[in-house]
């Protein structure tokens, strides 16, 4: 599984760094509610693409 950092999210979504951090925090909070462990500052690529490109 590939994890994306803030620079990857920023480039993929074409947003500023602050917004990229916000997206990562939001997605990680969703994953934690589902019972998954998360890595601060990183988000699984599969989950990001699932949430943004349905």
Task: Give residue 54's pLDDT.
Answer: 60
Whether residue 32 has pLDDT greater than 90: yes
pLDDT digits (tens, 9 = 90+) for 8-26: 999 999 999 999 999 999 9
Which helix (H) or strand (E) element contains residue 23?
helix 17-33
| Residue 51: partners with Cβ closer than 8 Å, 6 or more residues away | 27, 30
Whether residue 50 has pLDDT greater than 90: yes
Q: What angle do CA 12, 14, 24 make, to 5 degrees?
A: 65
């Amino acid at each position: 599984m590939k994890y994306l950092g803030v620079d990857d999210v920023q480039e993929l979504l074409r947003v500023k760094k602050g917004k990229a951090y916000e997206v990562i925090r939001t997605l990680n909070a969703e994953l934690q509610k589902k019972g998954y462990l998360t890595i601060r500052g990183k988000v699984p690529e599969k989950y990001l693409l699932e949430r943004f490109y349905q």
